[in-house]
Amino acid sequence: MKMNRLWELLTNNRFYKSIFRHGYPDDEIKRSEVVTGNLFLHIQPVKVHKNTIRTGYTLGLGLISFYLFIILTVTGVLLMFYYIPSIERAYNDMKDLEFAVSFGIIFRNLHRWGAHGMVAFVFLHMCRVFFTGGYKSPREFNWGIGVILLILTLFLSLTGYLLPWDQLAFWAITIVANLIGTTPPEKIMGASLRQVVLGGTIVGQNALIRFYVMHVVVLPLVAAALIGVHFWRIRKDGGISRPAEE
């Protein structure tokens, strides 16, 4: 076949092999090397159960959540080049992204819609896991990690919501801050929690920088680490859940 000769040419050379360390994966040994010989892929097993690749089982929801996280990280870094977390500048930076920066509006849209999408897909993924009984032993702990990931996702979205410093942002965060302020005993616990979150009594510069640091450093790092644990546990728990075999 012609196709095969093309692959041969592309893959059976020193350059290709210097990168991938094996030839074109046309037998099982080389196919296993695709996974074991690659830093990024080897968290996955060389072989997986057929149920794992059944589209109708996972619906790919966990993977979609992960992909959105990756896209958000990349577009988020690009937005950071233009955004300054100061109440004098933040709103104008958003306007610049919209009208002055090349493709700025696209990156902002990708980031915004990706964030909404991630909340939705993480939630749907949780529903999938529940309705297939995927949280049962030995996967109890990974379900717990998942619940924490859902909360982290919500907080990532929330902290990002303030950053454009428009009316929508300001009042949404004011509501959430007031909500935190109702933790009992209100005068002691609630008031001090609110103070810690906002760095003051109102949503102002201190709140903006706190939300910014949480949004771009703390929460993404914690989420990335926990996603790593989540994936590692999937493997240690014997792969994706599946029906018992007779």
Partner 1 sequence: MDKKEETVIFPKNPNKTYGLMELTKTKSFQIEKGPDNTVTSWPHLLFRELILFMGVFIALMIISMVFNAPLEEQANPSNTPNPAKAPWYFLGLQEMLAWAHPFWGGIFVPTVVTIILILTPYFDTSQKGVGVWFAPERRIANLLFTIFIVLAVGLIVVGEFFRGPNWQIFWPWNMPSPH
Query: Which residues in this chain contact ligand HEM in the complex, by CB under 6 A?
Result: 58, 60-63, 65-66, 69, 122, 125-126, 129, 132, 134-135, 139, 142-143, 146-147, 149-150, 153, 227, 230, 234, 240-241
Cβ nearer to ligand HEM, comparing 63 with 202? 63
Residue 234 contact among partner 1, ligand HEM, none, beta carbon within 5 to 8 Å by kind: ligand HEM
**CB 42 → ligand HEM: shortest distance, Å?**
16
Cβ nearer to ligand HEM, comparing 60 with 190? 60
Cα–Cα separations (whole angstroms), residue 174 to 21, 158, 162, 198, 201: 55, 12, 10, 9, 10
Which residues, other chains included, contact 50 with Cβ-Cβ below 8 Å and sequence gap of 6+? none
Report which of 121, 146, 118, 117 is spatially closest to residue 241, judged by C-alpha positions: 146
Residue 49 contact among ligand HEM, partner 1, none, beta carbon within 5 to 8 Å by kind: partner 1
CB atoms within 10 A of CB 62: 24
Cβ nearer to ligand HEM, comparing 138 with 204? 138
**CB 44 → ligand HEM: shortest distance, Å?**
10
Cβ nearer to ligand HEM, comparing 66 with 107? 66
CA–CA separation, 25 vs 15, rounded Å?
A: 16
**CB 151 → partner 1: shortest distance, Å?**
7
**CB 117 → partner 1: shortest distance, Å?**
7
CA–CA separation, 177 vs 193, rounded Å?
A: 9
Closest-by-Cβ residue to ligand HEM is 146
Burial of residue 243 (number of CB atoms within 10 Å: 0-12, 13-18, 19+): exposed
CA–CA separation, 84 vs 95, rounded Å?
A: 12
Cβ nearer to partner 1, comparing 13 with 109? 109
